[in-house]
């Protein structure tokens, strides 16, 4: 049994295909190690989300009106190379781009919000660029101090600048207070008139703005509302809109505005494009279109009788421009983020707050389609966008059981869906302070179905479980009593993830030893003993995959010698686990024979000698004979193997030691 897919009763483990983190046996699909997840075959999200287009740069240069505190922000960016802007509805993105332009940067790039700042590598950034990274919306996450330090060093070395955009000051660590600037919205009247000038509007359009619309702009209104007022003034001046309709569009709520554009005669193509643009807002249009088509197929298939197939659609019936006009969206052509000389198009709503409103409306109005929508979101591969959408639904759509959809994800056979539930729960705790609700939900999963138990183990392996480690290990012990080897293997992965963290060794080792003893004293805890023995194999390092665990086993043996020796002895005494241990040690012994006697020990040879010393502190013949006799009685089929292992270990004692790199 190894995390996350293996079976304890099988002595031999093989991995077919790519291996990441901690896992063994044959692995199909997704793999997990602690709270760091790797989906087999997937790569980390691309760092460059989109390059700022020429038209965007022109608009920023010509239409920009400085918000309050713009000058202090400019000084911070100049002095530290990084500035953090916060306060929603103040034009932070536009202000950030203008800051980078004023600092002398013409190559501006939006970095992907799916990437954490700490995951960015030196070779991924281009020198002399201005970068903008956003962690906004309902899913905004606190910035870790190490991530900020990392980026301060990185952008300075690249002669670059970085603008970070968050929602609230609570997302900014106290140590980074000098980087933080709170913006306030610019004068909406100035923004509206500057927009009219940029659009080369007539004097009459300025008069329309002053006479009909300006009274409904107030200090503190977001810049996009002022820009919308300017657009409406132009439409009135050109005779395409009357002032009453324009005033209603300017002042109505976003939910009312959305309801006004939706037509009951729309086909599923329009509805699915509306939802896809909301999900892929400011993302490549071809991604939005591709997944809109997938959602359309899901919806149409749901409507069919079982014995029918989908009818072909009419060809060329839905032009892109027509579709986007219907849903009040537009595209922006910009340089391709990775391939010089090529272009791409991103898609967005004309009104920025439409994205969240669309998600709310679909969830409120189409409750029978929740399962379809949930499966579609999980299938897009846009994990961060899915977390954001789920947070929007949970926090803004009234429900007696607000976490019902997360419970459905937790019960799923898909590891991707269970992982999505974990990430969303963690976000709800640390961003939205819903600790009590999350705690109750996770504790219910501890005694729930197999997949719910696996999800609960993943939750306790995440940041959530580190706040109260004793409670976490207690809950993992309850889950580890499950009859399902899949559940038990997930518990192993969760505990290994905690063990890999600095300062957690003593409590984890004590707990693992307790689980091993519990199975000896009470047959009801036999499954928990299996978990403990598997963990002992990882701790001692007698699995081929154990090298993936960042653990200095030499230091661990010196700090907790009694516990490590006890765990090693328990593994050896178990028929199945002892067989696996000696099988691995025999392979290590065989591989060491080809090395010269004057060479320092290799990593594998050091592992062999260290484990043998746990079993045989004294490798001289008589002491070795006495201990070896006991083991050969316990494992009679391994008598020759044990003798070879001991002889090899005795030879290795004369070799120069292995110089192990320090590990936390």
pLDDT of residue 593: 65
pLDDT score of 481 more than 70: yes
**Do residues 239 and 205 share a domain?**
yes
pLDDT of residue 28: 33
pLDDT score of 225 more than 90: yes
CATH of residue 139's domain is 3.40.50.300
How many domains does the chain contain in total?
Answer: 3
Question: Among 65-79, 199-213, 462-476, 608-622, which stretch is predicted with the lowest mean pLDDT?
Answer: 608-622
pLDDT of residue 612: 86
Mean pLDDT of 403-410: 94
**Do residues 134 and 201 share a domain?**
no
Question: Among 444-448, 556-560, 633-637, which stretch is predicted with the lowest mean pLDDT?
Answer: 633-637
pLDDT score of 14 more than 80: no
pLDDT of residue 135: 82
Computed from CA positions of residues 52, 55, 58, 64, in that sequence, does the dihedral angle turn out positive or negative?
Answer: negative
Mean pLDDT of 500-529: 86
Mean pLDDT of 488-505: 90
| Number of Cβ atoms within 10 Å of the Cβ of 109 | 23
pLDDT of residue 551: 80
pLDDT score of 639 more than 80: no
Mean pLDDT of 144-167: 92
What is the per-residue pLDDT across 23-52, written as a single tens digit (0 to 9) for each?
333 333 333 443 333 333 346 678 998 999
Residue 245 is assigned to a structural domain of this protein: yes
What is the per-residue pLDDT across 587-621, written as a single tens digit (0 to 9) for each?
888 887 656 667 788 888 888 888 888 887 766 65
Residue 545 is assigned to a structural domain of this protein: no
Residue 402 is assigned to a structural domain of this protein: no
pLDDT score of 658 more than 50: yes
Q: Model pTM?
A: 0.76
pLDDT of residue 596: 65
| DSSP secondary structure of 168-204 | -GGGS-GGGGGGEEE-BPPPHHHHHHHHHHHTT--HH
**Do residues 226 and 271 share a domain?**
no
Q: Among the ranges 37-51, 135-149, 249-263, which has the highest mean pLDDT value?
A: 249-263
Higher pLDDT, 312 or 354: 354
**Do residues 107 and 197 share a domain?**
no
pLDDT of residue 390: 93
Q: What is the mean pLDDT of the chain?
A: 85
pLDDT of residue 492: 95
What 3-state DSSP class applies to 411? Answer: coil
**Do residues 52 and 176 share a domain?**
yes
Mean pLDDT of 633-656: 77
Mean pLDDT of 333-339: 88
pLDDT of residue 537: 93
**Do residues 173 and 210 share a domain?**
no
Residue found under tokens 């991604």: 287
Which of 376, 401, 427 terminates a domain? The answer is 376
Residue 117 is assigned to a structural domain of this protein: yes
Question: Among 24-38, 215-229, 518-532, which stretch is predicted with the lowest mean pLDDT?
Answer: 24-38
Domain encompassing residue 77:
48-182
How far is the C-alpha of 383 from the C-alpha of 115, rounded, in Å? 11
pLDDT over 70, % of the chain: 86
The answer to whether residues 241 and 235 touch, using CB atoms and an 8 Å cutoff, is yes
Residue 143 is assigned to a structural domain of this protein: yes
Which of 376, 397, 412 terminates a domain? The answer is 376
Distances, alpha carbon 269 to alpha carbons 9, 265, 367, 372, 577, in Å: 51, 11, 19, 15, 57
pLDDT of residue 79: 94
Tokens at residue 31, please? 């793999």
pLDDT of residue 32: 40
Which of 376, 409, 444 terminates a domain? The answer is 376
Higher pLDDT, 8 or 229: 229
pLDDT score of 305 more than 80: no
pLDDT score of 422 more than 80: yes
Tokens at residue 293, please? 């088509």
pLDDT of residue 70: 96
- Sheet strands side by side (includes 161-166): 48-51, 108-111, 130-135, 161-166, 82-86, 180-182
Higher pLDDT, 484 or 384: 484
Higher pLDDT, 618 or 514: 514
pLDDT score of 296 more than 50: yes
pLDDT score of 13 more than 70: no
Residue 633 is assigned to a structural domain of this protein: no
**Do residues 171 and 52 share a domain?**
yes
Instruction: Determine phi and psi for 48, rounding to 5 degrees.
Output: -80, 110
How far is the C-alpha of 298 from the C-alpha of 305, rounded, in Å? 13
**Do residues 309 and 224 share a domain?**
no
pLDDT score of 419 more than 70: yes
What 3-state DSSP class applies to 233? Answer: helix
**Do residues 125 and 193 share a domain?**
no
**Do residues 61 and 176 share a domain?**
yes
Question: Among 8-17, 216-225, 551-560, which stretch is predicted with the lowest mean pLDDT?
Answer: 8-17
Residue 129 is assigned to a structural domain of this protein: yes
pLDDT score of 576 more than 80: yes
**Do residues 129 and 164 share a domain?**
yes
Higher pLDDT, 451 or 634: 451
Instruction: Determine phi and psi for 37, rounding to 5 degrees.
Output: -105, 145
pLDDT of residue 295: 93
**Do residues 136 and 216 share a domain?**
no
pLDDT over 90, % of the chain: 53
- Sheet strands side by side (includes 343-349): 283-284, 343-349, 329-335
pLDDT of residue 641: 82
pLDDT score of 11 more than 80: no
Mean pLDDT of 518-541: 87
Mean pLDDT of 240-265: 90
pLDDT of residue 457: 96
Residue 308 is assigned to a structural domain of this protein: yes
| Banded pLDDT at 175 (limits 50, 70, 90) | confident
Residue found under tokens 């993830």: 497
pLDDT of residue 22: 34
């Amino acid at each position: 049994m190894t995390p996350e897919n293996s079976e304890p009763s099988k002595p031999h483990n093989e991995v077919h295909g790519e291996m990441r983190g901690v896992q063994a046996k044959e692995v199909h699909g997704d793999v997990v190690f602690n709270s760091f997840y790797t989906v087999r075959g997937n790569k980390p999200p691309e760092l460059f989300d989109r390059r700022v287009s020429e038209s965007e740069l022109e608009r920023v240069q010509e239409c920009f009106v400085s918000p309050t505190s713009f000058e202090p922000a400019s000084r911070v960016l100049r002095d530290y190379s990084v500035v953090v802007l916060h306060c929603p509805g103040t034009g932070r993105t536009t202000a950030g781009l203008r800051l980078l332009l004023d600092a002398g940067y013409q190559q501006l790039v939006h970095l992907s919000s799916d990437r954490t700042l700490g995951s960015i590598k030196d070779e991924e950034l281009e020198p002399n660029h201005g970068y903008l990274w956003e962690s906004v919306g309902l899913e905004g996450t606190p910035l870790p101090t190490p991530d900020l330090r990392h980026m301060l060093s990185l952008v300075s070395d690249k002669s670059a600048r970085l603008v970070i955009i968050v929602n609230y000051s609570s997302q900014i660590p106290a140590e980074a207070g000098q980087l933080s600037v709170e913006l306030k919205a610019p004068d909406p009247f100035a923004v509206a008139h500057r927009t009219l000038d940029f659009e080369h509007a007539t004097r009459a359009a300025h008069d329309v703005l002053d006479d009909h619309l300006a009274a409904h702009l107030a200090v503190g209104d977001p810049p996009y509302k002022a820009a919308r007022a300017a657009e409406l003034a132009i439409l009135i001046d050109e005779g395409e809109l009357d002032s009453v309709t324009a005033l209603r569009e300017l002042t109505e709520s976003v939910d009312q505005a959305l309801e006004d554009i939706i037509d009951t005669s729309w086909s599923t193509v329009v509805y699915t494009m509306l939802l896809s643009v909301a999900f892929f807002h400011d993302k490549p249009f071809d991604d939005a279109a591709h997944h809109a088509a997938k959602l359309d197929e899901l919806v149409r298939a749901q409507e069919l009788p079982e014995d029918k197939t989908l009818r072909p659609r009419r060809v060329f019936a839905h032009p892109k421009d027509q579709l986007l006009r219907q849903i009040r969206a537009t595209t922006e052509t910009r340089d391709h983020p990775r391939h010089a000389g090529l272009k791409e198009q991103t898609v967005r709503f004309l009104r920025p707050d439409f994205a969240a409103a669309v998600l709310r409306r679909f969830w409120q109005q189409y409750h029978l389609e929740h399962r379809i929508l949930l499966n579609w979101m999980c299938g897009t591969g846009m994990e961060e966008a899915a977390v954001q959408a789920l947070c929007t639904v949970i926090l803004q759509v009234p429900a007696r059981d607000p976490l019902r959809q997360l419970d459905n994800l937790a019960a799923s056979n898909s590891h991707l869906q269970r992982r999505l539930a974990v990430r969303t729960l963690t976000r709800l705790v640390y961003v939205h302070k819903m600790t009590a609700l999350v705690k109750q939900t996770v504790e219910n999963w501890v005694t729930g179905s197999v997949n719910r138990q696996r999800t609960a183990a993943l939750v306790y392996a995440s940041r959530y479980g580190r706040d109260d480690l004793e409670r976490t290990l207690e809950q993992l012990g309850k889950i580890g009593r499950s009859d399902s080897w899949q559940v038990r293997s997930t518990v192993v992965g969760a505990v290994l993830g905690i063990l890999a963290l600095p300062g957690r060794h003593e409590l984890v080792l004590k707990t693992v030893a307790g689980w091993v003893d519990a199975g000896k004293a009470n047959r009801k805890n036999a499954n928990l003993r299996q978990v403990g023995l598997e963990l002992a194999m990882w701790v001692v390092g007698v699995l081929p995959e154990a090298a993936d665990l960042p653990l200095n086993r030499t230091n661990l043996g010196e700090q907790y010698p009694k516990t490590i020796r006890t765990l090693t002895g328990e593994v050896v005494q178990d028929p199945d686990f002892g067989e696996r241990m000696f099988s691995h040690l025999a392979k290590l012994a065989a591989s060491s024979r080809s090395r010269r006697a004057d060479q320092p020990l290799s990593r594998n040879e050091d592992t062999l000698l260290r484990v043998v010393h746990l079993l045989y502190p004294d490798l001289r013949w008589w002491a070795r004979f006495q201990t070896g006799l006991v083991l050969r009685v316990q494992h009679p089929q391994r008598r020759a193997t044990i003798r070879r292992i001991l002889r090899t270990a005795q030879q290795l004692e004369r070799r120069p030691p292995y110089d192990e790199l320090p590990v936390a």
